[in-house]
Structure 1
Amino acid sequence: MTDSARDRELDLVLYGATGFVGRLLADYLARTAPDGVRIALAGRSHTKLEALRTTLGPRAVDWPILIADSQDPLALVELVARTHVVATTVGPYAKYGAELVNACVAAGTDYVDLTGEVLFARDSIDAHHEKARTNGVRIVHSCGYDSIPSDLGVHVLHQAVQADGAGDLGETTLVASLRGGVSGGTIDSLRTQIDASKKDRALRRLAASPYSLSPDRTKEPDLGRQSDVAVVDGADIAPEARGWKAPFVMASYNTRVVRRSNALRGWAYGRKFKYREVMSVGDSRLSRLFAGGVAAVLGGLVLGLSVRPTRYVLDRILPAPGEGPSEKTQSNGYFVMDIYTTTTTGARYASRVKAQGGDPGYRATAVMLGESALSLVLDRDRLPDEAGVLTPATALGDVLVDRLRRAGLEISARRL
């Protein structure tokens, strides 16, 4: 953060507060943010923001309301100049996020978001990483279920291996178990990326590259084919990972974030670090059939949204932007992310990131984004000495691990 950014009237602005996840984040901050943290609600509609504020209880009654459209650069410049940190839930970020990132980098304002869009993150890196480093700004993408469990899970796994002097990370696989729903915003982000890739063959190749978010893809190791859509026998992962595993819907994004963390740290996880993500469908004798079914459904969804006639039908079935899982679905949701590795010395380790009692993509995401923002507001002196367009692990590291543990998440690592 630049010297001119230190004396500002606000600590944190929640941009997109009236959206589905924005409301959850506002509620979380109203209940848990320490006294004295100066928070404002921001968006396009004063009426909607004011109505939201009345639902947040007495701690939020004096929160200011700020108005700025995502496509109005001057309004965004004025907004970010008033605060130390912006947390935004306004997506798809490729449509609505670029001007806000640009304003934050120019003003010396730290930034966190929830993007799971490879092409948006790549554009942000190319446009802003060097200037953000120069300005001492942390632009931290993907501070929700995409991709904090993946990024911090590998972070603590690496720490455990290093503490034991057990070599570097080698073959590493995340196995996701979860229950939750999907929002219209997530579907809209998928549509946006599909549309961009259809128009430009170079963008399709970029999105498909396992190192699409790396600082310099030419310096990455050649580790052979790294597929993000695979049905995998759990026995090939670890003895503890019983049953066949299905493709994980966010693997094609999370894996690139984790690889960026490794590269930004000078390949600290190891030059032979090979990373993938899959999803559990149980360990019965039918698990291979179930895993194949999930792969077919995911492939069919992408294909269906790529073709005009089937997209027309899907658009009327899938949740619309602004819609999301029911209160019951959110309350009954959970996730467990187990990450297994075999190190270069042959030792086996595992880490776990777990949240109970909260839909992973929404209620638990509000916790993760809220604590990411509060890390930047309250714990700057303990954060890694980094600036630029960063990942959760490289920007927030152990500070965020500690905060999430206090918020009720399990984040652990052990030798097997």
Structure 2
Amino acid sequence: MSNDSDPRPETGAAAQAAQSRDLDVVVYGATGFVGRLVAGHLAQHAPAGVRMGLAGRDRGRLEEIRNGLGPGAAGWPILIADAADDASLDALARSARVVISTVGPYARYGLPLVRACAEAGTDYVDLTGEVLFHRESIDRYHETAVRTGARIVHSCGFDSVPSDLGVYRLYRKVAEDGAGELTDTTLVVSDLRGGISGGTVDSLRMQIDAMKKDKAARRTGLSPYSLSPDRTAEPDLGRQSDSSIVRGSDVAPGLGGFLAPFFMGPYNTRVVRRSAALLGHAYGRGFRYREVMAVGSSPLSLVPAAALTAGMGGLVAGLGFGPTRKLLDRVLPAPGDGPGEKARANGRFAVDVHATTTAGAHYRSRVAAHGDPGYAATAVMLGESALALALDRAGAPESAGVLTPATGIGEPLAERLRAHGFTLEVERR
């Protein structure tokens, strides 16, 4: 396994060529549910002069999508590309400065495009929440991307922008205040309203199957440092559980009740730990991180916390067992399905990152937004991630390789999200 702890880019011909591409941003998978939402966001909000394109397998469907995006998208070119055709992906990567991929499950379709972008020095963003895909992307293409100057930035949606930027901006504020380093840090989902996508369920099925068949995949999936550049260099902090019920008062003063494990925590925590490692463990050698969700503020909240924890375990177990999987498949959303426009508009989320520093100070970072977190808000996060790389790259961290939202984009993304109504704030408490 490669040690990818140095993400500084080398000067390469491919990186230089990326500055003179025909297009600035291309949405690959624009005919899919989330792809259409991302294309719609960019059609409405991309600054004038940004050269956009749509890519996928079916020209007719792509033209239909483009026709529905309004007059601003009328001149967007169509690019034909297929995950099974390396030549078409190479041509796609060479055509653009940034490629957005919404084609999942990524373990099935994603790696060929990552390869093409890494080799071409093309920046890339996606919305994966698949730890095994992310790990394989690192092992295969991080060093290539460092050499060419490409930024391969996974997880630029609800997985895992709120988590990663929330902790990153909290770290920057603590450092600015001279208040020491982060120690115990907990993200609390304080408000969440949204649906689950068929694509997310399909990705979960694939990961469960892979971990059942392969012991190495199972070890990777269960390791808290599965995305770290060098797991042997991680601090020995003892057991870090992503599936424990937590007492609110153990997280922050004044926080009541019990907190259940957040169902996206097993992935998000690994992304945040990768960011910490890529930044040279700047968060602190005693940085411990977990994610939970509020289910009530009274002592009786232990009951729904326990029920939610059991339900999450039951879903994973059910999808891993043939007979129950067939039953679950009848009620869970299918790939390509998603909530309607009204439900997407009525969604929302808020997460609070609570941290104690080595100096004994307490801080809270909040990230919140209106719109279904997995759809409406994710379309904004993914689209603005691409625009930040295309237009604000000079303000992002100096890095290349397989990165995270914090280490690949950082503050320019936070500024863009704030301009679209997101709350991003940090306070000492």
TM-score (norm 1): 0.98
- In structure 1, what is the equivalent of residue 245 of structure 2? 231
Matches of 1:26 and 1:284, distance apart in 2:
43
- C-alpha RMSD of matched pairs (Å): 0.9
User: Is 1:411 paired with 2:414?
Assistant: no
Q: Which ranges in structure 2 are unaligned for 5 or more consecutive residues?
A: 1-13
Give the drift of 1:48: 1.1
Report Cα offsets for 1:185-231 as digits up to 9, x if no partner: 00001011111101111211111111000000000011111111111
User: Is 1:363 paired with 2:376?
Assistant: yes
Give the drift of 1:111: 0.2
- In structure 1, what is the equivalent of residue 97 of structure 2? 84
| Aligned counterpart in structure 2 of residue 281 of structure 1, from 295, 299, 302 | 295
SS in 1 for 2:315: helix
Give the drift of 1:6: 2.0
Q: Write the letter of the residue equivalent to 2:116.
A: A
Give the drift of 1:247: 1.0
Matches of 1:95 and 1:209, distance apart in 2:
22
- In structure 1, what is the equivalent of residue 4 of structure 2? none
Report Cα offsets for 1:330-383 as digits up to 9, x if no partner: 111101010001111111111000102x00011000000011000111112222
| Aligned counterpart in structure 2 of residue 292 of structure 1, from 287, 306, 315 | 306
User: Is 1:32 paired with 2:45?
Assistant: yes
Q: How does 1:107-122 map to 2 (within 5 A)?
A: 107-122=120-135
User: Is 1:48 paired with 2:67?
Assistant: no
When structure 1 is superposed on structure 2, of 380-389 and 145-154 the one drifting more is 380-389
Matches of 1:116 and 1:136, distance apart in 2:
24
SS in 1 for 2:350: strand
User: Is 1:351 paired with 2:365?
Assistant: yes
Q: Write the letter of the residue equivalent to 1:49.
A: L
Q: Write the letter of the residue equivalent to 1:218.
A: T
| Aligned counterpart in structure 2 of residue 69 of structure 1, from 77, 82, 89 | 82
User: Is 1:192 paired with 2:209?
Assistant: no
When structure 1 is superposed on structure 2, of 291-300 and 4-13 the one drifting more is 4-13
Q: Write the letter of the residue equivalent to 1:335.
A: F
User: Is 1:101 paired with 2:114?
Assistant: yes
- In structure 1, what is the equivalent of residue 6 of structure 2? none
- In structure 2, what is the equivalent of residue 383 of structure 1? 396
Matches of 1:241 and 1:331, distance apart in 2:
29
Q: Which ranges in structure 1 are unaligned for 5 or more consecutive residues?
A: none
SS in 2 for 1:25: helix
Matches of 2:363 and 2:21, distance apart in 1:
45
| Aligned counterpart in structure 1 of residue 220 of structure 2, from 199, 202, 206 | 206
Matches of 1:273 and 1:204, distance apart in 2:
25
| Runs of at least 4 residues off by over 3 Å | none
| Residues matched between the structures, number | 415
- In structure 2, what is the equivalent of residue 175 of structure 1? 188
Matches of 2:255 and 2:165, distance apart in 1:
20
Q: Write the letter of the residue equivalent to 1:17.
A: A
- In structure 1, what is the equivalent of residue 155 of structure 2? 142
Matches of 2:171 and 2:400, distance apart in 1:
22
Aligned partners of 2:393 and 2:409 also within 8 Å: no
Give the drift of 1:285: 4.1
Q: Write the letter of the residue equivalent to 1:331.
A: A
Matches of 1:317 and 1:246, distance apart in 2:
24
- In structure 1, what is the equivalent of residue 172 of structure 2? 159
Matches of 2:130 and 2:106, distance apart in 1:
7
Matches of 1:78 and 1:135, distance apart in 2:
16
